[in-house]
Structures are given as C-alpha cells and as structure tokens.
Amino acid sequence: MEVEDGDKLCFPQFLNTSCRKPLSPWHETLLINIVWYSISLITATLNLLIIISISHFRQLHTPTNILLLSLSVSDLLVGLLLMPVEILRKTSCWFLGDLVCATFTLLSGIIPASSIGTIVLISVDRYVAICDPLHYTTKVTVNRVKLCVCLWWLYSVSYSLLFVKDDLTQLERFHYCHGECVLVIDFVLGPVDLVLSFIVPVTAIIALYLRIFAVAVSQARAMRSHITAVTLQLSVTPKAKKSELKAARNLGVLVLVFLICFCPFYAISLAGDSLVSASSTSYVIFVFYCNSCLNPVIYAFLYPWFRKSVKLIVTLQILQPGSSETNML
C-alpha cells in the first residue's frame, strides 16, 4: 500500500511532505500540452516578427510604434517564458526548485505590469494626437516615448520586487508540500496591487478613450457640415485628423481586446480563491495569456505595414543592403 501511495507522489522519498501528482488522465494532459505549447510558439513567433519589423524598418520608428514595440516585447516574454512554465506548473509536479519558482513569480508580476503600463501610454499617445494635434509632434517625440517606456519597465521591476521579496529571501516560506510552485499574496498587499495595477490604469484608459471618442464625434460632425472647409489650410487639416482618428480606432480595438482578456483575471483576484474553482482559475489565466497572441493578429488585420513587413522577413529580403529604408506606409 505504501508503494502504491508512493507512485502517486511527486517525491516518494518524502512520504509525509510530498505533493500528489496531478490526477488528470494522460490523454487530457497531452491534449492540453499540445494546445498550450502551440499557442506559446505562435505567440513568440508573431511577436518576434513585430519586433523585427519595427526595429529594422526606419520608416516605422514612430512614437506610436515604439509603444507597440514595448508591448510586443512583453508579449514575446509571455510566449517564451510565462506560458511554458505555467503549463508545466499546472500539468505536472514542480521539479525546477524554489529559486526558479520565485523567478517565475517575479516575471509573472513584471511582464503584465509592463503590458498594462504600455497600454496606458498608448492611450495617452492617442489622446494627445486627437485632442491636441497641433502640438503632438513637439510633445510626443521618439526619444521621449523611449524614455517613458524605459522608466515604466524599471518601475515594473521595482514594483514586482516589492511583492515577491519574501519569496526570494525565504524560498520555502509558502510551501505546503514538495513539488509545487505557488504564489501567496499578502492580505494587505493584495488589495493594494489590485488598485495600483488594474483599477487605476483601467480607469485612466477608459477616461482617455471616452474623451477621444467625444472629440472624434465632434470632429466628424464638423467635417460633415463643411465648417472646416473654409480655407485651403483647414481643408487639409481634416485629412491629417482622419488618419489620426483611424489610428485611434485601430489602437482602440487593441485596448478593448486587452481589457476583455485582463478583466476576468483581476475579477478572480478580487473574488478570492475561496469563491473560485481551480479549473476556473486555470481558464482565466489561459485567457489572460492569450491576449499576447491576439495582439499580433490584430496588427495583421489592421496594419498593412505589418503584413508587408512579414512578407519581406519571410522571404529574407530584409537581408539585402538598404532594406531598412524600404517604404512601408
């Protein structure tokens, strides 16, 4: 009987302290692994294409695309690191040790925080472009956007370290048994994290896009009534604003999908583990991570430059001299 029980344990040598192996049938586990690892590979590949596109082609070095580049870097890390480790954590015993578990916990905080911050910066970028178009080029420059992105990533690292410092310094503090990797949030820090990392950013995003929508509606009415067509200068202005409105619409789709994928995860955090089943939590985390795969798909549908750049990358034309100066718009 002892041998039979030992076969069900992650570490049979620790009969009293070992976790039990996952009880899912092998065929179900195999199917889950195939689906998850496939999505992980697709996520990493698509986001790598975006990173190469924006980094290589000089014409794509715009403030807005720098923000998309930052978002793609965080999405790439989700596909390369968070997804595979999450699959391992959910479908098998944890054999990678406490240090790797603590590192995964740290990255699980840094990467989503950087994504949320980048979405806020994208909303601010569109707000200035639509609501103050005359000063957009002077207020929003490539160097300023790069500085903001770097500062936000630095903030994300510092912020996440604050929440997992106990996991890093006391690696076995939260272990109930050998063979698991869990994240335990402090009763005080948990609500604070919910407010700072979700409620405040989402409120800012929604407020900015409501303002953008209001300005867009007023501009559309003005264009229909031909008020802005009095002079040649004003007749040219609506065309510029129309392109900005289209960019705002496209990025609005990105933001909307982001909120749809992220809201269930933080709703689970707000409800607490006692009110939510483990299967529901796994599903929500799956949706949460799938946002990183959906973003490049959105680019493919909404941005012609991305489709063109993918063709140039796949056919290896970017290796030719002077390819970085290719007209992408």
Q: How high is the pLDDT of residue 237?
A: 44
Q: What is the Cα–Cα distance from 140 to 128, expressed in whole angstroms?
A: 8
- Host H or E run for residue 233: helix 232-271
252-292 pLDDT, tens digit each:
788 888 888 877 777 776 665 544 455 566 677 788 888 88
Q: What is the mean pLDDT of each run of 10 residues along the chain (329 residues)?
A: 58 70 75 88 94 93 93 94 87 81 86 90 89 88 95 92 70 64 64 81 88 77 58 45 68 82 74 54 78 86 88 91 86
Return the domain boundaries, the chain. 27-318
> Do 18 and 7 form a contact (C-beta atoms < 8 A)?
no
b (16+ CB within 10 A) / e for 162-194: ebbeebeeeeeebbeebbbbeeeeeeeeeeebe
Cα 250 to the center of its chain, rounded Å: 17
The answer to whether the CB of 119 falls within 8 A of the CB of 205 is yes
pLDDT value at position 2? 45
For 267, what's the count of Cα atoms within 13 Å in the CB-facing half-sphere? Answer: 12
pTM of the model: 0.84
CA gap 258, 136 in Å, rounded = 25
Q: Which residues contact 125 (CB under 8 A, 6 or more apart)?
A: 63, 64, 67, 140, 145
Q: What is the homologous superfamily of the domain 27-318 according to CATH?
A: Rhodopsin 7-helix transmembrane proteins (1.20.1070.10)
Cα→Cα distances 33→24, 83, 88, 107, 274, Å: 12, 11, 9, 21, 27
Burial class from Cβ neighbours inside 10 Å (0-12, 13-18, 19+) for residue 18 reads buried
